[in-house]
């Protein structure tokens, strides 16, 4: 069975319309989750908890979709 890991993290952004963190050292790593449903619940909980701060944002990353440079047919393109 294929494992589909998801990472939930967040922090304060420089600009609420962007994705650049104000201070990378202050990123809140919520955790790694074995499926989308549990990751989504964790993301939603943290996002709702910080809704009053427009500069705070949480992200849900699909770790299983990361680019693997060793495999030509990796599922996603490199970031950046």
Q: Write down the pLDDT at residue 65.
A: 78
Q: CA Rg, the chain, in Å?
A: 14
Q: Write down the pLDDT at residue 64.
A: 78
Tokens of 27: 């990123």
Question: At residue 50, what are phi and psi to the nearest 5 degrees?
Answer: -110, 20
Q: Which architecture, in CATH terms, is 6-65? A: 2-Layer Sandwich (3.30)
Helix (H) or strand (E) holding 8: strand 6-12
Give per-residue pLDDT as tens, 65-77.
776 666 665 555 5
- What are the boundaries of each domain within the chain? 6-65
Tokens of 20: 């650049």
Section 22-29 average pLDDT: 96
Q: Identify the weakest region by mean pLDDT among 7-11, 22-26, 52-56, 76-80.
A: 76-80
Q: Is the pLDDT of residue 37 over 80?
A: yes
């Amino acid at each position: 069975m294929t494992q589909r890991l998801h990472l939930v993290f967040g922090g304060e952004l420089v600009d609420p319309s962007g994705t650049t963190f104000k201070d990378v050292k202050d990123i809140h790593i919520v955790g790694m989750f074995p499926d989308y449903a549990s990751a989504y619940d964790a993301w939603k909980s943290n996002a709702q908890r910080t809704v009053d701060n427009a500069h705070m944002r949480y992200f849900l990353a699909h770790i299983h979709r990361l680019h693997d440079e060793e495999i030509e047919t990796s599922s996603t393109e490199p970031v950046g």
